[in-house]
């Protein structure tokens, strides 16, 4: 799932380890989220949104991802 974690983290001047410490996960989780290999849980996404000062919709590109998912369902 597409997200803006890397862009927002860089803009906030945080390292991956610092962000990981702030949201109580390992730095590998942050790396995986940034690479869009792992989708965070609802609570982790909320924590990330709070730390990065954006809404969950913006952080997780929910509208864009929903459109992509709708397209996949239509293709079924």
Partner 1 sequence: MKIYNKKGLVIGLLWTAAGAFCLYRDAADAHAFLPQQIKSVVLSLIMLAIGLTCLVRAFSRRAAREDRIEELDERSCLVRLKTSSLTLRVTGYIRLAAMVLGLLAYAFTENLVFGCLFLFAGLEITLEAVVSAAAAVHYEKRV
Q: Closest distance between partner 1 and the C-beta of residue 41, in Å? A: 5
For the chain, the maximum distance between any two Cα atoms, rounded to a whole number of angstroms, is 42
CB 68 within 8 A of CB 3: no
Q: Does 59 bind partner 1 (CB under 8 A)?
A: no
> Among residues 10, 15, 17, 26, which is the contact residue for partner 1, using CB under 8 A?
26
How does 33-71 read in b/e, with b if 16+ C-beta sit within 10 Å?
Answer: bbeeeeebeeebbebbbebbebeeeebbebeeeeeeeee
Tell me the window of 3-11, 33-41, 50-58, 67-75 that interacts with partner 1 (CB under 8 A). Answer: 33-41
Q: Does 19 bind partner 1 (CB under 8 A)?
A: no
| Interacting residues toward partner 1 by CB under 8 A | 24-26, 28-29, 32, 38, 40-41, 44
């Amino acid at each position: 799932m597409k997200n803006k974690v890397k862009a927002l983290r860089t803009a906030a001047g945080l390292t991956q380890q610092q962000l990981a410490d702030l949201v109580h996960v390992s730095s590998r989780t942050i790396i995986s989220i940034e690479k869009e290999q792992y989708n965070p849980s609802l609570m982790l996404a909320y924590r990330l949104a709070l730390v990065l000062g954006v809404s969950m919709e913006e952080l997780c590109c929910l509208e864009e991802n929903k459109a992509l998912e709708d397209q996949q369902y239509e293709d079924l």
